[in-house]
Structure 1
Amino acid sequence: MPLPNGYSINSAREDEIEDDEPLIENAVPSKCCSVRLGLAILMFFGFVAVYALRVNLSVAMIAMVNSTDPNPAKNSSKSYDCPLSPDLTNNSDGFQYPEGIPRYPWDSETQGWLLGAFFFGYLCTQIPGGYLAGHYGGSIFLGVGVLGTAVLTLFTPLAAQMGPHWLFALRALEGFGEGITFPAMMALWSRWAPPLERSGLMTLTASGSNFGAFLSLPLTAYICQTLGWPSVFYICGGAGCLWSVFWFSLVSDDPRTHRRISQEERDYIINSIGHQGTGHGWSLPLLSIMMSVPMWIIIITQMCANWSYYTLLTSLPTYMDSILHFDLKSNGFLSALPYLGGWLMAIVSGFLADYMIRRKIFSLTVVRKLFTAVGLLSSAGFLLGVAYVGCSHIYTITLLTLSTTIGATAATGVFINQMDIAPRYSGILLGITNTFGTIPGVLAPIATGYFTEDHTLAGWRKVFWVSGGINIFGALIYILFATAKIQTWAITEEEKEEVEKECSSSISA
């Protein structure tokens, strides 16, 4: 039976409640031109900026170093695994960059550490950011996270000039600032996203990360070739600062305090979310959270999914350059192509998941498992295919694009599962899961640098094998053990009282 707070009680066990029932029986206010859709679009552009700030170094690195090989003279006579094509004579080594732009003699290992530096800082602020955003609201933390990272990005050319240690420290600080953004996003949606619109709104927001990568990679390559690589960081940093002006001007933590929302939409959101749409206070059921099996399944699966994602995000431009020998402009576009597909698929899968839930085609748990399995297993299969297509440019680009495109369906599964099992605590839960999920962001570029020290196709084959195998493991774990049922420790006292009253009424009747 539906309760006033929007949860359907189908058994006596509180931990078997699924948050997939509409709260109100009246017509749902149109999403078109709504404040909640406007919030999703503005957050989408925020994550476009976030990922542009995060990934621009992976392409700019090719222009920043003297060569992808630290000793070009010594290796000038070596034979490449993939021969240079006559059509690709304008590769990155031979391109004439704008005069006066500095380049640095950083070897493969140093580049790996610099590409992974961001995640050292990113690890530190996920949990405290999620906790504070869940208590105070997420808008200030999301805005400050983007603004702080954007300002720090402006100092990248200076840090690079001072040396790799300074650049490592700056990138770690950028990660420190950006670490609060995703938990803050989750905390905001816990107060703004009606259960039956949750998948669509959240995947639209999070798909900004894929679109940011798609936009940033080719633009970075173009800017490097025309204006020089320092301009990349000035432009990206400036864009992030501009976005923050709109964010602080237009956004509110809660529909109750928004100045331009209609009464109809406000009532719909508040009534749909119920008691779960309030702050969790200072106290948390930490022991219950850390002993929760569904929580650990999310953690393990996200770590597995992120390994391949971060491997491609940070190292794909290097693969395009050192193995396939694309020139820098082609490198940027082709490295970005998979993320265009991922952006589109994430949005489509989000609204498809909402449709399945609303029409009760599958239960919420089955929907989460279905989209996660499709995303991770298909991504793994295409990555393993890349390992064996050799030097074929067409097959490589096609398989990488399919891997990231279909893999994006997992965004509708495991990556928003925290909101299902504990909506009220979703900010801190995302902080915890994303902290563990960021570990691959630290280790994957370093492991890739280790596997590919000799810049051979065999080394990269190990990279794709490891990524695919980890994806398969994560999918199996999630299929077997995941759930979307609200956990006992996440139910508020008010909800427990309502359950007891409804049960008493049913028994009396």
Structure 2
Amino acid sequence: MAESSSTVGKRKCSQDRQVDEKPVPKKGRSLCSTGYGIAFTMHMCNFIVTAQCTVINITMVAMVNSTDHRFQFNDSTEGLSGDSSGGLNNARDTLPAGVPVYNWSPQIQGIIFSSLSYGFIPMLFLSGYLAGRVGTKRVVGVSLFATSLFTIFTPLVTELGLVFFIATRIAQSIVQGSVLGGQHALWEKWGPPHERSRLCSISLSGTILGTFAIILLDGMICQTLEWPFAFYILGGIGCVYCPLWFVLIYDDPISHPWISITEREYIISSLADQIHVSPCKQPLPIKAMLRSLPLWSVCVCGFTHQWLSITQIIYTPTYINSVFNINMRDNGFLSALPFLVAGVTGILGGQLADFLLTKNFRLVTVRKAATFLGNFPSSVLLVVLPYITPSYVTTMTFLILSCGLSSLCQSGIYINVLDIAPRHSSFLMGATRGFAFTAAILAPTVCGFLLNQDPELGWRNVFLLLFAINLSGLITYLIFGEAVIQDWAKERKLTRL
């Protein structure tokens, strides 16, 4: 009997296979291919947006009076009132004259740091779904331009008062969340399973290298110019990059005008058994998602790792300043080193993960190994820091190793959703990162409170809490994490009698 058109349509829409069921191709694309060009373009977008997010972390040292007066390890607090003869080791008196400064306590600073996450988190949920519907090119491109404008106007808004400053940061967090949440829809159609680790690690490493660059350069900008110029420069770079984004990025290889036929067919055939490109879309299985332990393990472990990452990004300059009491230029250089190593390690970790897959390592083994190495050693190294005698060599070695190993999670939990639910990955990548980024609200607030309440033991409490949180998330993921397509992520076939 001839099949009905509806039956044929359902058969075309049903193409679910496990990654481990088909052999991994021996040869992939070169670094000059269009797919890798997409990854490097996204890398630069992440670089710019992360630099705009992170600029406040070290600029805060120049923006406030006596940023570190409660964090000193020695008993002497003379001259730390913020005047030109203060104890900041010439950090304050080398700033340009006329630079506005604000009297914000460590607790207020924690609120300012966390304010960039209030709109960020809900937009991670929404933008992933939106990008899957209208395209990453539009969602991310428009958001990149908007956050660049907010960055340019930050110094002006700060002069209006603390309330206006925090309100502007919340508004900026909405568009920045759209950038980081909306980008993952690209890899549904551009990332073959056996290249996914390296493509995502190249893209996500832009967030780490953006942190490195701004921490390195921001101190010099604040000393040679004024701290407002850090915001002007970063906002201007973002505005200039936006036209390049709209020219170079396309939502799928089919619509890309310059991709070779060979590469287009290679990508489509590699993804044929994971997702389909057709107008028949199924509703999100929300109830099944909420009952999925593998998905919850990704959320929980992502949250705990973000607690680690946020603490590293926000408080590395402050911690180094509290230990060594150095000027902003040297602080920026030392604070940037760990993130340079982390950026390189993240890219190499993605290459290693895909290499292990070609050697027939199980996908779940690779994901869990990368997650373990990115969580456990990093948090242990931070816990040890307050108990050792402060020195440049030991402190910087521990911070570099902690940040460097932490970035290995890019090849673990952060792309695990693409393994367990490729059909709904655009929504789930944003949702899981949105859940994880709640740590960006809680961590600065809690750390600021601990440092404000107990100046002498504050850092020990901060790092011990960090270790306990990280260990709980890691254990959850090691027990419940999986790397096979879940039943609820497969398309349902309807059988008729």
Check whether the contact 1:190–1:277 (CA below 8 A) recurs between aligned residues: no
Residue 391 of structure 1: aligned partner: 390
Check whether the contact 1:55–1:216 (CA below 8 A) recurs between aligned residues: yes
How far does residue 470 in structure 1 lie from its aligned partner after superposition?
1.5
- List aligned pairs for 1:347-358, cutoff 5 A: 347-358=347-358
Deviations 1:94-123 (A, max 9, x none): 433112211111111111111111011101
Cα distance in 2 between the residues matched to 1:42 and 1:171: 26
Amino acid at match of 1:474: G
Residue 83 of structure 2: aligned partner: none
1:222 aligns with one of 220, 223, 233: 220
Residue 290 of structure 2: aligned partner: 290
How far does residue 395 in structure 1 lie from its aligned partner after superposition?
1.1
Cα distance in 1 between the residues matched to 2:378 and 2:77: 28
Residue 309 of structure 1: aligned partner: 309
Residue 100 of structure 2: aligned partner: 102
Check whether the contact 1:47–1:208 (CA below 8 A) recurs between aligned residues: yes
Q: Determine whether 1:256 maps to 2:254.
A: yes
- List aligned pairs for 1:157-176, cutoff 5 A: 157-176=155-174
Partner SS for 1:492: coil
Partner SS for 1:410: helix
Change (3 A) 1:281 1:92: farther
Q: Determine whether 1:334 maps to 2:331.
A: no
98-107 vs 387-396, greater mean Cα deviation: 387-396
How many residues in Structure 1 have an aligned counterpart in Structure 2?
476
Cα distance in 2 between the residues matched to 1:223 and 1:94: 14
Deviations 1:219-247 (A, max 9, x none): 11110111100000000111111121100
Residue 242 of structure 2: aligned partner: 244
Check whether the contact 1:186–1:427 (CA below 8 A) recurs between aligned residues: yes
Cα distance in 2 between the residues matched to 1:71 and 1:411: 35
Amino acid at match of 2:330: S
Check whether the contact 2:341–2:400 (CA below 8 A) recurs between aligned residues: yes
Q: Determine whether 1:364 maps to 2:363.
A: yes
Cα distance in 1 between the residues matched to 2:21 and 2:389: 46
Residue 184 of structure 1: aligned partner: 182
Cα distance in 2 between the residues matched to 1:375 and 1:70: 32
Change (3 A) 1:92 1:317: farther
281-290 vs 463-472, greater mean Cα deviation: 281-290
Q: Determine whether 1:461 maps to 2:460.
A: yes
Cα distance in 1 between the residues matched to 2:338 and 2:292: 35
How far does residue 492 in structure 1 lie from its aligned partner after superposition?
2.8
Residue 5 of structure 2: aligned partner: none
Cα distance in 1 between the residues matched to 2:292 and 2:441: 26
Change (3 A) 1:282 1:463: same
Amino acid at match of 2:65: N
Cα distance in 2 between the residues matched to 1:343 and 1:367: 20
Residue 346 of structure 2: aligned partner: 346
Change (3 A) 1:231 1:270: same
271-280 vs 115-124, greater mean Cα deviation: 271-280
195-204 vs 378-387, greater mean Cα deviation: 378-387
How far does residue 393 in structure 1 lie from its aligned partner after superposition?
2.9
Check whether the contact 1:386–1:396 (CA below 8 A) recurs between aligned residues: yes
420-429 vs 140-149, greater mean Cα deviation: 140-149
Residue 407 of structure 2: aligned partner: 408
Check whether the contact 1:277–1:423 (CA below 8 A) recurs between aligned residues: no
- List aligned pairs for 1:64-103, cutoff 5 A: 64-68=63-67, 79=76, 91=89, 93-103=91-101
Q: Determine whether 1:435 maps to 2:419.
A: no
Cα distance in 2 between the residues matched to 1:348 and 1:418: 21
How far does residue 289 in structure 1 lie from its aligned partner after superposition?
1.4
Check whether the contact 1:91–1:325 (CA below 8 A) recurs between aligned residues: yes
Residue 13 of structure 1: aligned partner: none
Partner SS for 1:486: coil
Residue 507 of structure 1: aligned partner: none
Change (3 A) 1:282 1:5: closer
Change (3 A) 1:7 1:399: farther
Check whether the contact 1:70–1:105 (CA below 8 A) recurs between aligned residues: no
Partner SS for 1:452: helix
Change (3 A) 1:199 1:29: closer
Residue 211 of structure 1: aligned partner: 209
How far does residue 78 in structure 1 lie from its aligned partner after superposition?
5.3
Identical counterparts, % of pairs: 34
Change (3 A) 1:388 1:468: same
Cα distance in 1 between the residues matched to 2:92 and 2:257: 56
Cα distance in 2 between the residues matched to 1:45 and 1:296: 30
Q: Determine whether 1:200 maps to 2:198.
A: yes
Amino acid at match of 1:393: Y
Residue 325 of structure 2: aligned partner: 325
Cα distance in 1 between the residues matched to 2:296 and 2:356: 26
Residue 116 of structure 1: aligned partner: 114
Scaled by the length of structure 1, what TM-score is found? 0.88
Cα distance in 2 between the residues matched to 1:216 and 1:282: 43
How far does residue 375 in structure 1 lie from its aligned partner after superposition?
1.3
Scaled by the length of structure 2, what TM-score is found? 0.90
Partner SS for 1:276: coil
1:152 aligns with one of 137, 150, 154: 150
Residue 271 of structure 1: aligned partner: 269
Partner SS for 1:120: coil
Change (3 A) 1:435 1:29: closer
Cα distance in 2 between the residues matched to 1:170 and 1:228: 21
1:139 aligns with one of 137, 140, 145: 137
Deviations 1:185-207 (A, max 9, x none): 21001110111100000011001
Change (3 A) 1:70 1:29: closer
5+ residue gaps in structure 1?
10-16, 501-509
Amino acid at match of 1:490: A
Amino acid at match of 1:213: T
Residue 21 of structure 1: aligned partner: 22
Check whether the contact 1:299–1:437 (CA below 8 A) recurs between aligned residues: yes
Check whether the contact 1:20–1:196 (CA below 8 A) recurs between aligned residues: no
Amino acid at match of 1:415: Y
Cα distance in 2 between the residues matched to 1:71 and 1:389: 20
Residue 233 of structure 2: aligned partner: 235
How far does residue 278 in structure 1 lie from its aligned partner after superposition?
3.4
Residue 63 of structure 1: aligned partner: 62
Cα distance in 2 between the residues matched to 1:20 and 1:406: 31
435-444 vs 273-282, greater mean Cα deviation: 273-282
Partner SS for 1:154: helix
How far does residue 90 in structure 1 lie from its aligned partner after superposition?
6.4
Change (3 A) 1:141 1:281: farther
Cα distance in 1 between the residues matched to 2:323 and 2:438: 27
Partner SS for 1:253: coil
